[in-house]
Amino acid sequence: MPYSNPLPLNELTVQMSKLFEPFGISQDEFMTRFGNVFDPFGLFSEKSEKVAKDLLKSVDPFGITQSYLDVQKAWLNHPKELSDGLLQLSKDSWAVQLQTWERFGGFIVQDSVPVNEYDERFQEPEWIENPYLDTIKEIYLLYTRWIEDSIYKTPNISEKTRDKAGFWMRQVLNAISPSNYFWTNPVAVKRFIETGGQSLVKGLENFITDTKYKTIRMVDNTAFTVGGNLANTAGSVVYRSPLFELIQYKPQTENVHQIPLLFVPPWINKFYVLDLGEQKSFVRWLVAQGYTVFIISWKNPTEAMRNTSLDDYMLKGVLEAANVAKQITNAPHIHAVGYCIGGIILTALMAWLDADVQGDITSPIHSWSLFATLVDFENPGEIKVFIDEETIKHIEEMMSEHGYLSGDNLADSFRMLRSNSLIWHYYVHNYLYGEELPQFDVLAWNMDSTRLPEAMHSFYLREFYLHNKFMQPNGVTLGGRPIDVRKITQPLYAVGAEQDHIAPWKETFKMCGLVKSPVRYVLATSGHILGIISPPANPPKRRYWVSDATGQLDADAWVTATPKVQGSWWEDWDKWLGQQCGEMVAPPTIGSEQFPDLCPAPGTYVLEK
């Protein structure tokens, strides 16, 4: 059996074969004659490589190890560039060594590897004043930055492999930070001394409690109650289906706008991010401005819902809720609002309704709004590291066991995108400092995770994220119709968030150039949650950019030409909504004879764990 061509890693054998070329012995012939001498077990053959890859997939379904190996092989194929990088690392190491000598000698010198001003791990003065800690910090920063930079500079390798290797290596490097260990965390040692050791005792108690939750908690869950100090705006469930409950909120003004609002929240989390405490509740604020507000509360999927599809969420969810809200209020149409994945399914429904060439269905939605919503998934933010065939197959295997993806799995994935601030920050404060957990309503909501049904999530990951078919004209078929967002004509108010790492704002801006709708676009400061939950305050705490963006494609040009405004974009949206939602009329009843009041808000589905 002829010996297979060697891998680039088998550089010694390749170089040896070249020595025999002047004697008329080709590389292939050399490998056939002498390959077993240099590689007696066939470790570098193509067949062995396949076996190794198959073995890796069984123990490493995310392909982490393979991405590392691909990076290493790429660098070995570029020895000159690798040598240059190692030489620079050596020079920088000498600079750190010199700094260490100077610090131990009592001299005040600048850090060779400066700390990022936003890196809270090394902000304590001891990281500079104590030469031991300073040395540890500098070596850690030097090598971690060099490793990460080297991965992202890897020559002749796919961006996907580079991003995956960089992401997973960052998880390792963040985990081994000296700030995560007691003896190399000056604050932890100081608190131990100040409290007579009680800080570590409390930290141990926190650790034992967290083992029951199977996670590092970010918030004191016991401080919040859904229906108590969260999700407490007065209202009633007026409709219940196997997929959702529809909540109608009680009016707080003498008259209301004729056209009601229907919120379509993401089913990745529970709806009450839009109805937090009294000071942050988006729903409460809108009701106070004279709007009739409905909101969908999605059921937390069980194994029996494993075949629930994206079509179901669109037609048996959003469309059904829109028709119920329209009938209860006796309004000519409604205004629909979609947030995150709720905005994606709302966009699909708008395209589905506008594709009704036979005119069989009268659209109940004549204007709409989108909050932090993607349509083009070519660059879906940092979550793209989880989007490839191997990872999705692994997720599908996980879902096949119970018929859903556990909310804990999803929450852990999102926390890894910001592991220093969402994992290791709480590890240090909970266990090393022994602090009490914070009481923060947004974090309490974030920890109240939901499941995702197998059929829906598999389709969504593959067709939207992996293959980006939603962007393509007629690329996705839902409810028996091909979907093309370019056919949408209803007026749109779209919102992106400047620091959103889940739905990057420049990607959400692409909607402006896709739809035929007149579009008003807002760019809010902050991130995916706090950019949207932005109640007006005095003095103003937030800022935003807003202007007409109809047909625009260049996000950078738009924001450059748009002045920044102080305050909350909610107030601008209120003015725009007033034009869409008609004249002021007497408030509608809560529910109707056909859709009676079933129970008080927040209902029953939101309480399901």
Q: Would you place residue 54 in the very low, low, confident or very high pLDDT band (cuts 50, 70, 90)? A: low
Query: Which H/E stretch holds residue 27?
Result: helix 27-38
Distance between CA atoms of residues 502 and 341, nearest Å: 11
Distance between CA atoms of residues 394 and 56, nearest Å: 13
Q: pLDDT at position 4, please? A: 37
Q: pLDDT at position 6, please? A: 38
- 58 pLDDT more than 80: no
Q: Would you place residue 35 in the very low, low, confident or very high pLDDT band (cuts 50, 70, 90)? A: very low
Half-sphere exposure of 4 (CA within 13 A, CB side): 16
Catalytic residue among 340, 512, 581, 599: 340
Residue with tokens 């760019």: 523
Q: Name the pTM for this structure.
A: 0.85
Distance between CA atoms of residues 281 and 300, nearest Å: 22
pLDDT in tens, 393-415: 999 999 999 999 998 888 888 88
* Pairing of β 543-548 and β 519-524: antiparallel
Distance between CA atoms of residues 173 and 96, nearest Å: 19
Question: DSSP for 411-423?
Answer: HHHHHHTTHIIII
Residues 6+ apart with CB under 8 A from 240: 246, 598, 603, 605
Q: pLDDT at position 328, please? A: 97
State percent of the chain over pLDDT 90.
Answer: 74
Domains and CATH numbers, the chain: 1-59 (no CATH), 79-180 (no CATH), 235-382+475-607 (3.40.50.1820)
Catalytic residue check, 340 = yes
Beta bridge partners of 522: 495, 546
pLDDT in tens, 196-236: 999 999 999 999 999 988 889 999 888 899 999 999 999 99
Range with the poorest average pLDDT among 59-63, 114-118, 227-231, 481-485: 59-63
Residue with tokens 């009601």: 260
Question: DSSP for 284-316?
Answer: HHHHHTT--EEEEEE----GGGTT--HHIIIII
Q: Would you place residue 246 in the very low, low, confident or very high pLDDT band (cuts 50, 70, 90)? A: very high
Query: Which H/E stretch holds residue 96?
Result: helix 79-104
State percent of the chain over pLDDT 70.
Answer: 90
Per the structure block, which two tokens stand in for 330? 């006796």
CB contact at 8 A, 340 and 372: yes
Count H helices and E strands in the chain, helices first: 24, 17
Q: Residues of 203-213 as b/e, b for ≥16 C-beta within 10 angstroms?
A: beebeeebeee
pLDDT in tens, 458-473: 999 999 999 999 999 9
Q: Would you place residue 34 in the very low, low, confident or very high pLDDT band (cuts 50, 70, 90)? A: very low
What would the mean pLDDT of 499-528 be, rounded to a whole number? Answer: 95
